[in-house]
Amino acid sequence: MTKHVASGWLGILCGATLLAAGCTRIDPKAELQQAATHVEQATGAAPTWASDERLELQPDESGTVPLEQAVNLALANNRALRADLEVIGQAKADLVQAGLLHNPILSIMVRFPEAGGRSMFDFGVMQELSDLWLIPSRKRAAQAVLQQRLLSFSDTAIALVSDVKTDYYAQQYQALAIDLQQQNLGLIREAIEVAQVRLRAGQAGALDVNLLQSRLLETELELLQLRSEQRVTQQSLLRLMGVAQASVTWQPQPLLLDAQTAALPEQESDLVAAALEQRLDVQAAGWELEAAAAEFQQEMLKLLPSLSVGLAGERTERRAPLERKIWADTLRESILAGKPTVPQFETPSQRRLMKSREIRLLLGPALEVPLPIFDQNQAQVAKAQYRARELIRRYEELVQRIIEGVRSAVAQRRLAEDKVRFYRQSLVPLQEANLQLAQTDYQGGRESILTVLLVQEELIRTRLAYAAAVRDLLINTANLERQLAGRLPEGSKELPTSQPADESVEEPR
């Protein structure tokens, strides 16, 4: 129902727009292609915003949705991004409007004589000429605003890709963590059974059983929490992809714990310089400054805000001719003359002469210009100047925030990288060695099966922490790429690998 209502309103709006626009068509296709190019350079994804087509979630035969499909769905379907997309069309319309001359003004006034006769008719046609010196600065400001909106939209799309990757990596970890916790539950239950056998045999105390029961309950709670977090993360990811009502019976690709990670430059300043050069919000802020400068120039030119010239005319009124009473006029003239006298009449030639001398139409040039006596636009000039100074300070603050964001992201990325290296090189191999020792001692009769199960459980917990470290590394990498508004350099390095943490532990022999 909601979809049909939205489609109906959209159709009405489009129809009204076409009716109002007439033959004029505003096509932001070129600007959309520029935005798509910016996003592709930064993320590797190639959006197609020129079409209103919505993509559907399509898991493969195994029910898996790859990261690339999630990113493409978000760029094509995300409702907030689609709403921001319309801002580019609005800015393009403003640019077209900025280059148009004002329409001529036709004025007509008719006044009717009280006593009858020909009415007075005033008319004029005026054209605004201030556009001749205001249009260049107006177009410059509109062009700068269009570029600012385009770059801001592109930056929003890049941030959306980063959010999608963050949720996707979190869901990958949660799926792996649920699998590891389920393995852990099985091992704890086996350990509880062994501990209960030893308790009945008098070889262990009740405390061992209670401690294992407590660990079992804690693990079950952790598993419930993980499943809840997975559902919430999955729903958030579906919303970002614009398919919030899609089925949840799909999984992300498995988390690869031995994946290669791109190398970071030794000098942090190199990344800061790259961010300041690549960040689209910095470029958008620069264009906003350009628009403010153009508006300041326009306000300076508005000392004479308008100048209209044209043609004005007036058709003068003419009173209705008096109705002559022949007999009365004859009697009046006869009395005055003392004898019968015929009243005077105008001859046709006299009437033609008088009519030719009559002024029927006044026509001449007209000029309308405000006199800058009281208002010389000082307030608006000062306002535009303060606006430009405000944007300069905001630009500087944005640069400061970008430097902080890049340096913090680099620190977090290197910390995550060190943690992954620590787990791969030290902790995971140590826990695997402990399991081998426990199995050897168990086979030699020096340790019980309970010890082996507990060591296996500790190994699973270590692998769970290792998976969390890999997740953090991937998320921090996505965050760093968002700070840079671009992908990390192509060169990559591979951290030393250990046994993949998603493999099931071996059964004790």
Give the residue with greater pLDDT, 14 vs 330.
Answer: 330
Give the residue with greater pLDDT, 451 vs 173.
Answer: 173
At a CB cut-off of 8 Å and minimum separation 6, what does 331 contact? none
Cα(185)–Cα(181) distance, rounded to whole angstroms? 6
Give the residue with greater pLDDT, 8 vs 416.
Answer: 416
Is residue 259 predicted with pLDDT exceeding 80? no
At a CB cut-off of 8 Å and minimum separation 6, what does 58 contact? 65, 69
Write out the two tokens for 38.
């910016």
349-380 confidence digits (pLDDT tens): 766 776 666 777 888 898 888 888 888 889 99
What pLDDT was estimated at residue 503?
Answer: 45
| Exposure string for 109-142, b = 16+ CB within 10 A, e = fewer | eeeeeeeeeeeeeeebebebbbbeebebbbbbbb
Average pLDDT of the chain to the nearest whole number: 84
Burial class (CB in 10 A: 0-12, 13-18, 19+), 273: middle
In the chain, domain spans: 18-40+66-305+375-493
What pLDDT was estimated at residue 209?
Answer: 83
Is residue 30 predicted with pLDDT exceeding 80? yes
Write out the two tokens for 138.
């107006």
Among 18-27, 54-63, 323-332, 339-348, whose mean pLDDT is lowest? Answer: 18-27
Band (pLDDT 50/70/90 cuts) for residue 412 is very high
Band (pLDDT 50/70/90 cuts) for residue 500 is very low
State pTM to two decimals.
0.80
**492 beta partners:** 262
The three-point CA angle 481-483-484 to 5° equals: 65
Cα(342)–Cα(331) distance, rounded to whole angstroms? 9
Residue 489 has phi, psi (to 5 degrees) of: -55, 155
Cα(6)–Cα(20) distance, rounded to whole angstroms? 21
Q: Where do we find the tokens 């056998």?
A: 197
What pLDDT was estimated at residue 307?
Answer: 87
- Contact between 462 and 428 under an 8 Å Cβ cutoff? The reply is yes
What pLDDT was estimated at residue 440?
Answer: 87
Cα(313)–Cα(480) distance, rounded to whole angstroms? 71
Instruction: Write the class of the CATH domain 18-40+66-305+375-493.
Output: mainly alpha
Band (pLDDT 50/70/90 cuts) for residue 502 is very low
Helices and strands in the chain, H and E counts: 13, 10
Write out the two tokens for 144.
């700068």
- Contact between 372 and 304 under an 8 Å Cβ cutoff? The reply is yes
337-351 confidence digits (pLDDT tens): 777 776 666 667 766
Cα(8)–Cα(74) distance, rounded to whole angstroms? 24
What pLDDT was estimated at residue 387?
Answer: 93
191-249 confidence digits (pLDDT tens): 888 888 878 887 767 887 888 889 899 999 999 999 999 999 999 999 999 999 999 99
* Residue 11: CB atoms within 10 Å: 10
